[in-house]
Structure 1
């Protein structure tokens, strides 16, 4: 059991992370203390331009695309994403680089000095540290990936210039709600009065998004209404009210996520390097998003951890089925996730399932799995290491090992293989 440590001056970076793990708020539904701390630190009105990205899936991809384009348009960019795969340092980047631990410690100390008895969560504290560092380094543009929801997320405390919702699907239902209307309401909580919001949901948009936009006089820019992307045989097009690009090259990133970023940038009125955007943007490598780390056997890592993300991943795998003799899945899914919904997307694709237990009871998990898989199709292991080891032992050079189900599972395989996260 992790031993709780007490705050004192001059904690090491490791000690700070241990200290922050015990930060819990009584209720998720309260930003009052976070806003109070941010106000005292002068963090609420300190940036030239800001994007906040919410949604069920694709948030990280959109954030990375925005960062890459803005950096190549000569802006000083601060990027905040979560969760991390290996190191906390991954969460905050300035000009595409991780910061030294000493800068994180500086931010932690400043926030703790002001916080006093205000109860906030780990995520709140880290978000405040990101905002502090972006102000300290005087970035031109910040990009914030919302954690849970949006309305009551710590990333929502600043007056963002452009709000982005990638899509609306079911995840974290116990917090965000059990209907798309309620989930849409939480995500749309990032909308700001008289500002622009980009919506990339390709299915029916929950009416809660339209209602909240109308209430706040937020100008919605929706896919297939104000902006479009068109697939062609060897290229694709992006068309909006302000940008029209034809014969763009296909990328390793989904077109909807690229198009969401394009739409947001087109509405920002920032001075974007259009030549880079059209000719040199691709490929974009995002750790843990369809990351191919080995060829023989092929090993693909993907953090897909809900049914929507699993569906997108399965579609990519189906397109390349003929390349592989067999497919082995190394899967770890957290207990509260839609385990059956995630696995169902890969029925008929995966030849052998290797499950690792994360926080489940083994017998309960086995009962769940038996409802959709035959007992010959899978094994359950106590650790990701054992699950990976068995799959790698069985796989030939012509096979595929697919690792997915959670950030935790992908992170553990990266550690097992001792891979440098910056080279994925």
Structure 2
């Protein structure tokens, strides 16, 4: 819709199209502009307890488990996460529900008025709109998933009560570089002086721990301040103050479940074991090891970097149950394709490679070049072509894994729904 269209008349689709054209860059890290708009509207004066979660992988699933546990305890909870898979409204959940489109339109209208002549990126505008929405409800907890990095991410304008770093690995090289120590410091940029922090990876890069020490943070770090013990049929979480035993193994990463528990410990919450067991057993998140079809077995996962692909490979050995594994992969051209496909090379029997549209999309040639050592590689122009071809070749002795990007998984989910 043209920019001259009255803000009150725009649909959500109109608004999203408008936001895509309002800034010179899709990603523009920095807090000055977004903080200026937030200050003018006094948007960051919430009485809710704020949990900010950063990390290369595991942010979304950690936020989802925190949300599920807190809701089960009767608290009012808001969650902001990104990116969405099918519907922009997925980026905000309030008490477990997606807001109506009209609520997003109201929030965008409010931010448009507040920003005046300040230019905001798509993500910055959406972050401010989410904060505005949360202020409309009397929430007990607000959970903010960092979009990119941490120190300069728009979510960092909000003062956290607990700051969480799940993992640190190489990703988003164009914005964060390829130095792990530097990336760790960027993600630890959500820490505050004397603040409460949780570090969810026992092998975290040392720069994250150094930042916590320099800021004199109250720290709960995996392998240092809390530990996970894995048994045959259950696992346990133990810290100096708390212990939970007989916890069920989740499909999503166990380390993220422990990170969520440590975060709740930092908040002073002592949970009954039954509710914790139930929450972990029911823990799931769209696009993360999501089953799209049982017959034939089709699973989608947004793994798009080496660390997440390594976890996917480990889970596939359990999920396949002797089946032949067929993979559909399409990736963005700024990702480390070579190292991302590496963990799956010995598992996958047949590769269907596809291109992705858009400015960061690969036409499939770069990805195919990373699979020269693999047998049975077929390249397609689009995800839908690759998906339909892969389905036609599946039988009861095989399964399909779709991965490589949020865009890839979104397309597979839409195709699966249309064929159901």
The answer as to whether partners of 1:45 and 1:159 remain within 8 angstroms in 2 is no
Gaps in structure 2 of 5+ consecutive residues: none
Q: 1:348 aligns with which of 346, 349, 364?
A: 346
**Aligned residue number for residue 202 of structure 1:** 202
The answer as to whether partners of 1:184 and 1:206 remain within 8 angstroms in 2 is yes
Measure, in 2, the Cα distance between the counterparts of 1:92 and 1:187.
22
The answer as to whether partners of 1:4 and 1:22 remain within 8 angstroms in 2 is no
**Aligned residue number for residue 137 of structure 1:** 137
Q: Which is further off, 289-298 or 230-239?
A: 289-298
Measure, in 2, the Cα distance between the counterparts of 1:5 and 1:384.
33
**Aligned residue number for residue 82 of structure 1:** 82
Query: Aligned runs of 1:4-403 on 2, under 5 Å?
Result: 5-6=3-4, 8-9=6-7, 10-24=9-23, 28-203=28-203, 205-270=204-269, 272=271, 274-279=273-278, 281-324=280-323, 326-358=324-356, 359-370=361-372, 372-374=373-375, 377-403=376-402
Change over 3 Å in CA distance of 1:417–1:11 after alignment to 2: same
Measure, in 2, the Cα distance between the counterparts of 1:410 and 1:364.
19
Measure, in 2, the Cα distance between the counterparts of 1:316 and 1:415.
24
Question: How far off its partner does 1:280 sit?
Answer: 5.0
Measure, in 2, the Cα distance between the counterparts of 1:109 and 1:99.
15
The answer as to whether partners of 1:299 and 1:402 remain within 8 angstroms in 2 is yes
Q: Which is further off, 207-216 or 116-125?
A: 207-216
Measure, in 1, the Cα distance between the counterparts of 2:220 and 2:64.
21
Change over 3 Å in CA distance of 1:378–1:236 after alignment to 2: same
Aligned residues: 414
TM-score by length of 1: 0.93
The answer as to whether partners of 1:332 and 1:409 remain within 8 angstroms in 2 is yes
The answer as to whether partners of 2:166 and 2:199 remain within 8 angstroms in 1 is yes
Measure, in 2, the Cα distance between the counterparts of 1:78 and 1:47.
13
Gaps in structure 1 of 5+ consecutive residues: none
Measure, in 1, the Cα distance between the counterparts of 2:186 and 2:24.
19
Change over 3 Å in CA distance of 1:154–1:327 after alignment to 2: same
Spell out, residue by residue over 1:64-93, the C-alpha distance to the aligned partner (whole angstroms, 9 max, x if none): 000000001111000111100100011101
Change over 3 Å in CA distance of 1:406–1:364 after alignment to 2: closer
Spell out, residue by residue over 1:316-344, the C-alpha distance to the aligned partner (whole angstroms, 9 max, x if none): 112344431x2111111111101111111
Measure, in 2, the Cα distance between the counterparts of 1:175 and 1:62.
24
Question: How far off its partner does 1:269 sit?
Answer: 1.7
Measure, in 2, the Cα distance between the counterparts of 1:246 and 1:272.
12
Superposition RMSD in Å = 1.9
The answer as to whether partners of 1:303 and 1:407 remain within 8 angstroms in 2 is yes
The answer as to whether partners of 1:24 and 1:120 remain within 8 angstroms in 2 is yes
Question: How far off its partner does 1:14 sit?
Answer: 1.1
Measure, in 2, the Cα distance between the counterparts of 1:60 and 1:362.
27
TM-score by length of 2: 0.94
Question: How far off its partner does 1:192 sit?
Answer: 1.2
